[in-house]
C-alpha cells in the first residue's frame, strides 16, 4: 500500500511538472521590442519651381521622426511646432541646394541628414535616430 502511495505522489509530481512546463517559464520574460516610437510631422507644402524661378505647382511631403528613447517621446511631442518650423526651413534649404528637384527628393541621404541634424538641434543631441520622408500629393499652381 505504501509503495502505491509513493507511486501516486510521484505521478502527481510528474503531472505538476508537465503542467508547469507547458504554462511557460516561471520567471518573467523581457518585454518584446516593438517598433520604435515615432512622431509624425504634419504635411509640408513645398513649391516646385520652374527654371525661371516661378512656382509651377506645390508638392506635399510628410516627415516622420523616429525617437531613439521612448522616455523622450513626450518631450519630442511637445516640440512638434518647433520641429515643423525647423524641418520646413531645412526643406527650403534642400530645394535651394538642389537636393530637391521639381518636387522630388533627388539626394535623399543629404536631405535626411539635414533633417536629422535640424531635428536634433531642436530636441537635443541624439534624441531623433532616423527620418522618414514620404511624398503625399502634388497640386497645380494657382493661375
- DSSP summary character for residue 136: E
Among the ranges given (10-14, 108-112, 137-141), the one the predictor scored with the smallest mean pLDDT: 137-141
Cell of 61: 511631403
Residue of 29, 116, 17, 18 whose CA lies nearest to 65? 116
Contacting residues for 119 by C-beta, under 8 A, at least 6 apart? 65, 83, 86, 87, 127, 128, 131
Confidence of residue 136 (pLDDT cuts 50, 70, 90): confident
Q: Report the alpha-carbon angle 136-64-38, nearest 5.
A: 145
pLDDT on residue 135: 84
Per residue in 48-100, pLDDT (tens digit) is 888 888 888 888 999 999 999 889 999 999 999 999 999 999 999 999 898 98
**Entry pTM:** 0.70
pLDDT surpasses 80 at 43: yes
- Identify the band that residue 4 occupies on the pLDDT scale cut at 50, 70 and 90: very low
CB count in 10 Å sphere of residue 43: 16
Cα–Cα distance, 111 to 117 (Å, whole number): 10
Report the percent of the chain where pLDDT is more than 90.
48
Q: What is the pLDDT of residue 75?
A: 94
CA–centroid distance for 62 within its chain? 12
Q: In terms of pLDDT, which residue wins out, 20 or 56? A: 56
Amino acid at each position: 500500500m505504501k509503495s502505491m502511495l509513493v507511486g501516486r505522489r510521484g505521478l502527481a509530481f510528474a503531472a505538476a511538472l508537465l503542467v508547469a512546463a507547458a504554462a511557460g517559464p516561471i520567471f518573467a520574460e523581457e518585454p518584446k521590442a516593438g517598433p520604435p516610437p515615432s512622431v509624425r510631422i504634419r504635411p509640408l507644402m513645398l513649391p516646385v519651381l520652374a527654371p525661371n524661378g516661378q512656382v509651377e505647382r506645390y508638392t506635399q511631403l510628410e516627415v516622420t521622426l523616429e525617437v531613439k528613447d521612448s522616455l523622450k517621446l513626450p518631450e519630442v511631442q511637445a516640440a512638434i511646432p518647433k520641429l515643423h518650423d525647423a524641418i520646413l526651413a531645412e526643406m527650403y534649404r534642400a530645394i535651394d541646394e538642389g537636393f530637391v528637384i521639381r518636387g522630388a527628393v533627388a539626394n535623399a541621404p543629404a536631405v535626411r541628414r539635414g533633417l536629422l541634424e535640424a531635428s536634433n538641434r531642436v530636441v537635443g543631441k541624439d534624441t531623433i535616430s532616423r527620418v522618414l520622408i514620404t511624398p503625399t500629393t502634388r497640386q497645380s499652381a494657382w493661375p
